[in-house]
């Protein structure tokens, strides 16, 4: 991302290929306190978002709606506010160890989250049905109903 024009070059190469149907981009999500080359500085993040907003109009295979890109500019502040983190369960390669608080594990820097899935679900949650009914409370209500139903459901013995 340090090279100006990289995203345009990438899209110019991949977009014409018939085997490519859609193109999406995740941004790097660092851990809190991490210092690395991959971490986007605020000015870089702003440039990437501005570039993607413009490029999505030129490259039809780039499927990144404005609402999703706006979430990259202002991501959920914590896993507790992240619809993706609240609605998914990530498990490590051993198929038993849960990865928490989200798929990135550790202490993710949510203020610099670049997860496409998180941004996509946050964009849906920020959407307003008919222009005035926010979707976010519907997500939250659904999660509360699901949690209540799990508490009421008897635990079945595992088949041995």
pTM score > 0.95 for this model? Answer: no
How do residues 129-142 score in pLDDT, each as one tens digit?
Answer: 888 888 888 888 88
> Is residue 53 within a helix (H) or strand (E), and if so which, with residue range?
helix 42-58
How do residues 67-94 score in pLDDT, each as one tens digit?
Answer: 999 999 999 999 999 999 998 999 999 9
Predicted local distance difference test score (pLDDT) of residue 54:
97
> Is residue 99 within a helix (H) or strand (E), and if so which, with residue range?
strand 98-99
Could you give the number of structural domains in the chain?
Answer: 1
Give the Cα separation of 73 and 70 in Å (integer). 5
Cβ neighbour number for residue 6 with a 10 Å cutoff: 12
Contacts of 45 (CB under 8 A, 6+ apart): 27, 72, 73, 112
Residue 152 domain-assigned?
no
Give the Cα separation of 3 and 81 in Å (integer). 33
Q: Evaluate the omega torsion of the peptide bond into residue 34 and state whether it is cis, within 30 degrees of 0.
A: no
pLDDT band at 151 (very low <50, low <70, confident <90, very high): confident
Residue 159 domain-assigned?
no
Predicted local distance difference test score (pLDDT) of residue 128:
85
Residue 80 domain-assigned?
yes
Residue 158 domain-assigned?
no
Q: Is the pLDDT reported for residue 160 higher than 70? A: no
Residue 15 domain-assigned?
yes
Contacts of 92 (CB under 8 A, 6+ apart): 98, 99
% residues pLDDT > 90 (the chain): 74
Residue 109 domain-assigned?
yes
Q: Is the pLDDT reported for residue 2 higher than 80? A: no
Give the Cα separation of 112 and 77 in Å (integer). 9
Predicted local distance difference test score (pLDDT) of residue 47:
94
Residue ranges making up the domain that contains 57: 6-147
* Sign of the Cα pseudo-torsion (23, 87, 144, 74, in order): negative
Mean pLDDT of 26-52: 94
% residues pLDDT > 70 (the chain): 96
């Amino acid at each position: 991302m340090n090279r100006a024009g990289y995203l345009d070059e990438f899209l110019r190469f991949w977009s014409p290929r018939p085997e490519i149907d859609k193109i999406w981009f995740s941004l790097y999500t660092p851990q809190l306190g991490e210092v690395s080359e991959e971490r986007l500085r605020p000015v870089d993040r702003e440039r990437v978002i501005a570039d993607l907003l413009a490029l999505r109009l030129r490259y039809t295979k780039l499927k990144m709606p404005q609402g999703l890109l706006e979430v990259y500019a202002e991501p959920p502040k914590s896993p507790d506010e992240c619809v993706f983190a609240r609605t998914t369960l990530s498990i490590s390669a051993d198929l038993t160890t849960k990865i928490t608080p989200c798929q990135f594990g550790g202490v993710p820097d949510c203020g610099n989250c670049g997860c496409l899935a998180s941004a996509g679900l946050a964009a849906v949650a920020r959407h307003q049905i008919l222009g005035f009914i926010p979707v976010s409370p519907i997500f939250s209500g659904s999660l509360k109903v699901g949690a209540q139903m799990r508490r009421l459901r008897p635990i079945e013995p595992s088949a041995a």
